[in-house]
A and B are shown apart, each in its own frame.
Chain A
Amino acid sequence: METPLGDLWSPIRLTLELAGLTTLFLLLVGTPLAWWLARTRVWWKEGVATLVAMPLVLPPTVLGFYLLIALGPSGAGAVTGPLLGLRTLAFTFEGLVIGSVFYSLPFVIQPIRNAFEAMGERPLEVAATLRAAPFKAFWTVAVPLARPGFLTGAVLGFAHTVGEFGVVLMIGGNIPGETKVLSVAIYDFVESAQWREAHILAAGMVVFAFCVILAMTLIQSRAARAGA
């Protein structure tokens, strides 16, 4: 059985939307969190850092399982869902975004936190002695200096969201046009022996992964040169 190639666009578009939106939220949530982790001296900060990093080690199905419960009608989803006009957040695109944010958070936090830590206290002290209030110093000094960290974090967060599978399957299921993203689509095509479609998508992912890693390397080497 042959699907028209037009059907391939739906999972691709959905994946790009999911990854884009997730990256946006990751930067919004991750930046203050990374800033706090880089600067605070409270003793329990490494506890928070560990929690954030857990998705690196946990099987995606475990994360997905808890998210399913949390987002479902008996969890927080029962409260937040109606705000978005939904009965529940499980098996919805919105639920996928939330799940992806948790799942990819460590990939965004780590490079941004490292960049904030690497710049040290000095640039902010200089800004303070030049009468810059902390908020101004953050925007005009810390953020521009941490730019390579932001770029790395954004690329990694985006790419990692594109590549997620287990979490999506657990909380999103396989609803075409709603939660059926690339990785799930490939799985489906293989299940139903649609090798041509599986080949196209899989090869596309290989090229994508190559480009991502190359981009990362270039960002880092450029940053290293600029810092020298």
Chain B
Amino acid sequence: MRIAPSPLDVTAEPLIRAAFTGALGRFTLDVSLRVPARGVTALFGPSGCGKTSVLRCIAGLNRMSGTCIVGGETWQDETHFRPAHRRPVGYVFQEASLFPHLSVRRNLTYGAPRDPAHHAVAFDDVVRLLGLAHLLDRAPRHLSGGERQRVAVGRALLSQPRLLLMDEPLSALDRSTKDEILPFLERLHATLDLPVLYVSHDMAEVERLADHLVLMMDGRVTASGPLAELQSDPRLPLAAAREASVSLDATITRHDHGLTELAVRGGRFLVPGTVGPVGARRRLSVVAGDVSLALERPSPSTILNVLEGRILSAVPLREAEMTVVLGLGTSGEGDRLLARVTRRSWDLLGLAEGKSVHIQVKGVALAHPVPAAAQAITD
């Protein structure tokens, strides 16, 4: 079981530092990244904003002027350019791009080093992790879209990369196939200590997988930081989105009355059902529209989750609403939440920055609905 690092010790960790400039279609790519070489970092932005180009530059598939330093190793600077085949990356393309002339097994082992002593990721583990055992002797053309993409992920992992690059690996798949693959990716995240750069334009995927987020727009990086921090930053477009939400990493503390209690910094949430053993970590997601505020402790109601917190800031949203950033805990020092309230209520209640409030949360979603099979491995 991997414990996610707290954002505070990020600076002490190895970094991925990359900066590239160059022409990209109708605009210029001019990005500079500095993200931890650990956990999943999502590059998020609208289609055509240059996310894929950044990933290709890091892999050495595209060449733009700039620098690329991964975990202290220089892959590119003003004078050097290490070619793609000498960079220890795994790359998962949007389309699986399996070698059609090789069986699944030989696709998987194509990039594996000859000497098994160099195998940090073992063949059998990858096969089990991705559920590929029954597919090994098939030809790629006899696989479904989801199966192909799983083989592509396995192939990338078996090349023993030190950095996994995933370019919208789910975007070519339909909804149900996505749901079939996401649990496998979450398992990877939970079991392998391999940094991942994950390109996506789908916030639902990002919420489930990412620890760290890089926002991109028109060839530039607009913000970069831990996922929840960016989600709850009212100056960023994420907080203004209709379905704005904040992710919280929680630890299961106990089970009671068929409910599971999970602790986050500054508060506790209850969710129905048993979602894992005590001590396990789960990711929760709270949608801003499901959060309402009260000045006094509300009278007992059917709402499960009422937490204490403090208003950290608030910005107007369109003509009638406010986006309110809340800090959990009596002094507001804990995890953050977003609330969406009307300006009328804001004025009526006399809400203001710094004010203590009772936070009622109508719905909490598990962003990490860990499947039974994966649970057996991770716990």
Binding site for B on A (CB under 8 A): 122-123, 125-134, 137, 140-141, 144-145, 147, 226-228
Given contacts A125-B93, A129-B111, A130-B155, 12 further A-B contacts (CB under 8 A): A125-B61, A126-B91, A127-B85, A129-B89, A130-B85, A131-B85, A131-B86, A134-B85, A141-B99, A145-B100, A145-B101, A226-B100
Q: B309 at the A/B interface (Cβ < 8 Å)?
A: no
Question: Are the CB atoms of A126 and B97 closer together than 8 Å?
Answer: yes
Q: What is the bound-complex CA distance between A145 and B101, given in angstroms? A: 7
Q: Given the complex of chains A and B, what is the CA–CA distance between A141 and B102 in angstroms? A: 9
Report yes or no: B111 in contact with A123, Cβ–Cβ below 8 A: no
- Give the CA-CA distance A226 to B101 in the complex, in Å: 9
Inter-subunit contact B111/A131 (CB<8 Å): yes
Q: Total number of A-B contacts with CB less than 8 angstroms?
A: 60
Q: Closest B-chain residue to A141, C-beta based? A: B99
28 contacts between A and B (CB under 8 A): A122-B93, A122-B95, A122-B97, A123-B97, A125-B84, A126-B91, A126-B97, A128-B83, A128-B85, A129-B59, A129-B61, A129-B84, A129-B89, A129-B156, A129-B159, A130-B110, A130-B159, A131-B85, A131-B111, A131-B159, A132-B85, A132-B110, A134-B85, A144-B101, A226-B100, A226-B141, A227-B100, A228-B141
- List A contacts of B84 (CB < 8 A): 125, 128-129
A131 to B159, CA, bound (A): 8
Residues of B within 8 A of A226 (CB): 100, 141
**B50 at interface (Cβ–Cβ under 8 A)?**
no
* Residues of chain A with a CB closer than 8 A to B329's CB: none
Given contacts A131-B111, A131-B159, A228-B141, contact A126 B85 (CB under 8 A): no
A140 to B85, alpha carbons, bound, how many Å? 14
Across the two chains, which residue of chain A brings its CB closest to B111? A130
**A126, A137, A145, A228 — which one has the most chain B CB atoms within 10 A of its CB?**
A126
Please, which residues of chain A bring their CB within 8 A of the CB of B61?
125, 128-129
- Is residue B90 contacting chain A, with contact meaning CB distance below 8 A? yes
Is the Cβ of A129 less than 8 Å from the Cβ of B100?
A: no
CA distance A147 to B155 in the complex (A): 24
Q: Which B residues lie within 8 Å of A141 (CB)?
A: 99
> Provided the pairs A134-B85, A228-B141 are in contact, do residues A129 and B99 lie with their beta carbons within 8 angstroms?
no
Distance of A99 Cα from B311 Cα, bound (Å):
87
Q: How close is A88's CB to chain B, nearest CB, in angstroms?
A: 46
The minimal Cβ–Cβ distance linking A48 to chain B, given in whole angstroms, is: 25
Within 8 Å CB of B113, what residues of A?
A: 131
- Shortest C-beta distance, B150 to chain A (Å), equals 16
Closest to A225 in B: B141
Q: Please, how many angstroms separate the alpha-carbon atoms of A122 and B99 in the complex? A: 10
* Segment 204-228 of B: residues with Cβ below 8 Å from A: none
User: Closest Cβ of chain B: how far from A1's Cβ, in Å?
Assistant: 56
Question: Which A residues are CB-close (under 8 A) to B90?
Answer: 129
**Docked CA distance A227–B111 (Å):** 23
**A145 to B97 alpha-carbon distance, docked (Å):** 13
**For B88, what are the chain A residues with a Cβ–Cβ distance below 8 Å?**
131
C-alpha gap A144/B106 in the complex (Å): 14
Which residue among B59, B95, B110, B156 has the maximum number of chain A CB atoms within 10 Å of its CB? Answer: B110
**Contact of B100 with A126 in the complex, beta carbons under 8 Å:** no
Contacts of A140 in B (CB 8 A): 110
* Those 3 A-B pairs whose CB atoms lie nearest each other, nearest first: A130-B111, A129-B91, A128-B84
Q: How far is the CA of A131 from the CA of B113 in the complex (A)?
A: 9
List chain A residues, Cβ under 8 A from B141: 226, 228
CB of A133, distance to nearest CB on chain B (Å):
5
**Most chain A CB atoms below 10 A, which of B95, B101, B113:** B101
For A132, what are the chain B residues with a Cβ–Cβ distance below 8 Å? Answer: 85, 110-111
Q: Please, how many angstroms separate the alpha-carbon atoms of A125 and B110 in the complex?
A: 13
Q: Which residue of A lies closest to B88 (CB)?
A: A131
List residues of chain B with CB within 8 A of the CB of A134: 85
Chain B residues, CB < 8 A from A129: 59, 61, 84-85, 89-91, 111, 156, 159, 165
Question: Hey, which chain B residues are within 8 Å of A228, CB to CB?
Answer: 141
Return chain A residues, CB-CB under 8 Å to B85: 127-134, 137
Provide the bound-state CA to CA distance between A145 and B99, in Å. Answer: 8
A128 to B141, CA, bound (A): 22
Complex Cα distance A131/B87, Å? Answer: 7
**Complex-state Cα separation, A133 to B85, whole angstroms:** 6
B85 nearest in chain A by CB position: A128
Which chain B residue shows the least CB distance to A119? B100
Distance in angstroms from B303 CB to nearest chain A CB is: 50
Assembled-state Cα–Cα distance A152/B83 (Å): 34
User: CA of A217 to CA of B50 in the docked complex: distance in angstroms?
Assistant: 43
In whole angstroms, what is the CA distance A127 to B61 when docked? 11
- A143 nearest CB neighbor, chain B only: B101
- Tell which of A130, A144, A228 has the most Cβ of chain B within 10 Å: A130
In the assembled complex, the Cα of A58 lies from the Cα of B341 at a distance in Å of: 81
CB distance from B67 to the nearest CB of A (A): 20
| B100 contact set on A, CB distance < 8 A | 145, 226-227
Closest Cβ–Cβ distance, residue A136 to chain B (whole Å): 8
Bound-state Cα–Cα, A199 to B110, Å? 55
A130 to B151, CA, bound (A): 14
Cα(A144)–Cα(B110), bound, Å: 14
Collect the chain B residues with CB atoms within 8 Å of residue A227's CB: 100
- In the complex, what's the smallest C-beta–C-beta distance from A218 to chain B, in angstroms? 19
Instruction: Give bound CA distance, A98 to B237, whole Å.
Output: 69
